[in-house]
Every structure is written in structure tokens, then in C-alpha cells.
């Protein structure tokens, strides 16, 4: 951990933030780390930070990596970083753990795995936890992405730990979502359950060194053919990899590139990014609203209104209107 000198004395004028952002843009990893910490800590400087970052965002490709625990996400992420570095790309990695209240702990193993890239100045690696934020990941992750974009990352990989809702949330933040499955994990059935048939842009059958990879590929292909996918004519490819041996990741990169080209030519890139901005604005607004609601709720207004409704002096709609007028 790097020490964090206080920024408090600079609160309000934003000059410390401007300095941090320009250092981050120059590729200073400590400045990048500090900016992400400001995001995580919900610093009062956040408005200044996002304001200063805005002109430098919108260029990176964002790739989400999801899949069941142990399927090989971290191994694949590390191998992908290697491939992308070969192509001269600056890479950001955001490992997001929605279930952990602490960043780092659960992802320690991943950090060790990522050590191949620890000394590469063109790679930023950061783990984040939602820490029980109101609005959780939907609010914090996009801001961390902005920091990495401003730092000049060409590609940002988001690895999520966990299943279900978080996978869908991450998919909504990515331009391209990779869904990893592996033979022998009961993934054939899980796939349909978790809704991953709808979110994948590229499917990766990892651990292809194990028995059952071809069967899994066949099953997945027929399930995908039946799935109700709405976004145009993109047919998600299925790639086989052995991430632990660095095998097949070049093909994954090719498919990510092909998907990106399709996103651009079909107009879907703009659609997805606008939708993402919408979600982001909504998450920020709802978080603010909840905070204000908490303020109102904490006072006695609600109790008074409730007593009035219970006594028949008022109706609940009028009471709700009165409460909203307070916000």
C-alpha cells in the first residue's frame, strides 16, 4: 500500500485533483492508484475528479470477464494481459469483488498470479470491493474505469468474482463480455440458469485440456441458437483455451477485436455507451436520493405522517407526496 497524504486542505479548489489527473495521464501509477482510492472512499473530491477525467475518457475498450468460481478467470486475465502487451497495448485490470467488504483480501491469490505483470509500467492492476456502498458496484466501478481510461489504457479488463447479478452488472459496463465456462463444472446447466446465454459476446471454453470440452462446445452452441438474443446479427463465437498454458488466448484477442469492429460498424458501440452513461447517471442520482431520503426518514416527519394515515386523517398518497416534497 502506498501512503496517502491528505488532500483535505485542497478540498474545494480542485487543484490537487487537476495535478493528480495530469500525473495519471503521464502514466504515474501512484497517481492512478490514488484516484481510484478517492473513488472507493467516496471522497468529497469525487465531483472534481470525475469532472477532470471527463475530457480524457471514452477511448478505451472495456472487456468484462465473467464465469463461475474457479473457471479460470484470473488465469485468463493474466494471459490476456500478456497477449495485449505483445500487441503494444496499455492495459488496465480491474478485479471486482462485489461480495467482499475489503478490497484485496479475497483477491490476494489473483495478485500473486498477476505478478508476471507487476513490473510492467504499461499495466495497471487494481482490485476493488463494493464495501457495502449504497448503489454498490453500479456506482463505483464506472468511476474507476474512467480513471484507467484517462491514464491512457487502450484496453481495460474487468474480472468479476461471483455469480448472478454481479455478472449481469459487469456485462452492462463492458463493450465486450467474455463468458468463461469449463468442462466438468456442471456449467452446461448453470449456463442457462445464470442467464449467461444472454450476456456473452465471446464464449470461452477454458480448461480445454480436460475431457468434455468438445461436448460442452456442442451443447453451448445449441443453447445459444435457442437463446433469445436481441442485439442484432452478432453471433457469439466459442473459443477453446487452456489459459494455464497460454493456449488459445491469441484467438480470444482476435474475437474481441472482431466484436469491437462489429460494435462500431453496427452502431451498437454508441448504443451501449449511452446506455452505460444512463445507468451511471441513474445510479449516482439514486444514491443521492437515498441519502436525502435517509435524512428525511431520520426525522419525525414520517412518523407524524404515518400517525395521520393510521388515524384516517390523511391518505397514504397525500402523505407520500408530502414526504417527497421534503426531498
Q: What's the CA dihedral at 251, 254, 256, 262 to 10 degrees?
A: -140
Question: Contact, 184 vs 210, CB < 8 A?
Answer: yes
Buried b (16+ CB within 10 A) or exposed e, 162-188: bbeebbbbbbbbbbbbbbbbbbebebb
Question: Contact, 178 vs 189, CB < 8 A?
Answer: no
> Considering beta carbons, is residue 64 or 237 the nearer one to Mg ion?
64
Q: Return the closest-CA partner of residue 252 out of 123, 58, 73.
A: 73
Interaction between residue 43 and ligand GTP (CB under 6 A): no
* Nearest-angstrom CA–CA distance, 218 and 215: 5
Of 120, 154, 209, 251, the one binding ligand GTP (CB under 6 A) is 209
Least distance from Mg ion to the Cβ atom of residue 211, Å = 23
Question: Contact, 241 vs 204, CB < 8 A?
Answer: yes
Interaction between residue 207 and Mg ion (CB under 5 A): no
> Considering beta carbons, is residue 70 or 164 the nearer one to ligand GTP?
70
> Considering beta carbons, is residue 66 or 74 the nearer one to Mg ion?
74
* Nearest-angstrom CA–CA distance, 285 and 291: 10
Interaction between residue 246 and ligand GTP (CB under 6 A): no
Least distance from Mg ion to the Cβ atom of residue 63, Å = 15
Give me the DSSP letters along 119-166: T-TTEEEEEEE-TT-TTHHHHHHHHHHHHHHHTT-SEEEEEE-S-THH
Question: Contact, 175 vs 61, CB < 8 A?
Answer: yes
Least distance from ligand GTP to the Cβ atom of residue 193, Å = 17
* Nearest-angstrom CA–CA distance, 277 and 280: 5
Record the cell numbers describing residue 40, joined without a space.
472507493
Of 74, 127, 206, 241, the one binding Mg ion (CB under 5 A) is 74
Interaction between residue 185 and ligand GTP (CB under 6 A): no
Interaction between residue 242 and ligand GTP (CB under 6 A): yes
Site string for ligand GTP, 158-177 (x = CB under 6 A): ---x----------------
Of 206, 252, 272, 283, the one binding ligand GTP (CB under 6 A) is 206
* Nearest-angstrom CA–CA distance, 299 and 317: 19
Least distance from ligand GTP to the Cβ atom of residue 251, Å = 14
* Nearest-angstrom CA–CA distance, 279 and 285: 10
Applying CB under 6 A, the span of 34-42, 207-215, 268-276, 311-319 interacting with ligand GTP comes to 207-215
Residue 243 binding partner per list ligand GTP, Mg ion, none, with a CB distance cut-off of 5 to 8 Å that depends on partner kind: ligand GTP
Applying CB under 5 A, the span of 11-19, 108-116, 234-242, 303-311 interacting with Mg ion comes to 108-116
Of 35, 64, 72, 73, the one binding Mg ion (CB under 5 A) is 73
Binding to ligand GTP (CB under 6 A) within 65-84 occurs at 67, 69-75
Applying CB under 6 A, the span of 183-191, 240-248, 260-268, 289-297 interacting with ligand GTP comes to 240-248
3-state class (DSSP) for residue 62: strand
Kindly list the residues in this chain that would bind Mg ion in the complex (CB under 5 A).
73-74, 110
Kindly list the residues in this chain that would bind ligand GTP in the complex (CB under 6 A).
67, 69-75, 161, 206-207, 209-210, 242-244
Amino acid at each position: 500500500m502506498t501512503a496517502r497524504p491528505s488532500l483535505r486542505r485542497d478540498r474545494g479548489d480542485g487543484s490537487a485533483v487537476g495535478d493528480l489527473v495530469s500525473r495519471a495521464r503521464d502514466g504515474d501509477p501512484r497517481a492512478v492508484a490514488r484516484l481510484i482510492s478517492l473513488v472507493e472512499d467516496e471522497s468529497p473530491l469525487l465531483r472534481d475528479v470525475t469532472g477532470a477525467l471527463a475530457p480524457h475518457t471514452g477511448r478505451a475498450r472495456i472487456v468484462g470477464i465473467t464465469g463461475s468460481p474457479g473457471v479460470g478467470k484470473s488465469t485468463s486475465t493474466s494471459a490476456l494481459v500478456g497477449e495485449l502487451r505483445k500487441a503494444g497495448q496499455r492495459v488496465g485490470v480491474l478485479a471486482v469483488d462485489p461480495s467482499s467488504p475489503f478490497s484485496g483480501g479475497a483477491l490476494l491469490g489473483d495478485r500473486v498470479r498477476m505478478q508476471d505483470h507487476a513490473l510492467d509500467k504499461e499495466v495497471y492492476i487494481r482490485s476493488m470491493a463494493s464495501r457495502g456502498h449504497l448503489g454498490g458496484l453500479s456506482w463505483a466501478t464506472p468511476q474507476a474505469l474512467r480513471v484507467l481510461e484517462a491514464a491512457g489504457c487502450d484496453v481495460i479488463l474487468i474480472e468479476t468474482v461471483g455469480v448472478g447479478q454481479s455478472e449481469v452488472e459487469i456485462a452492462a459496463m463492458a463493450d465486450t463480455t467474455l463468458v468463461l465456462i469449463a468442462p466438468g463444472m456442471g456449467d452446461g446447466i448453470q449456463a442457462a440458469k445464470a442467464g449467461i446465454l444472454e450476456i456473452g459476446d465471446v464464449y470461452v471454453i477454458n480448461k480445454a485440456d480436460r475431457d468434455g470440452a468438445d461436448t460442452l462446445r456442442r451443447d453451448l452452441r445449441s443453447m445459444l441458437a435457442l437463446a433469445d438474443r436481441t442485439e442484432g446479427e452478432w453471433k457469439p463465437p466459442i473459443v477453446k483455451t487452456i489459459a494455464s498454458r497460454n493456449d488459445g488466448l491469441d484467438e480470444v484477442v482476435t474475437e474481441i477485436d472482431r466484436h469491437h469492429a462489429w460494435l462500431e460498424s453496427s452502431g451498437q458501440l454508441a448504443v451501449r455507451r449511452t446506455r452505460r452513461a444512463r445507468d451511471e447517471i441513474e445510479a449516482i442520482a439514486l444514491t443521492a436520493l437515498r441519502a436525502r431520503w435517509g435524512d428525511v426518514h431520520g426525522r419525525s416527519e414520517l412518523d407524524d405522517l404515518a400517525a395521520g394515515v393510521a388515524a384516517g386523517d390523511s391518505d397514504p398518497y397525500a402523505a407520500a407526496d408530502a414526504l417527497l416534497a421534503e426531498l
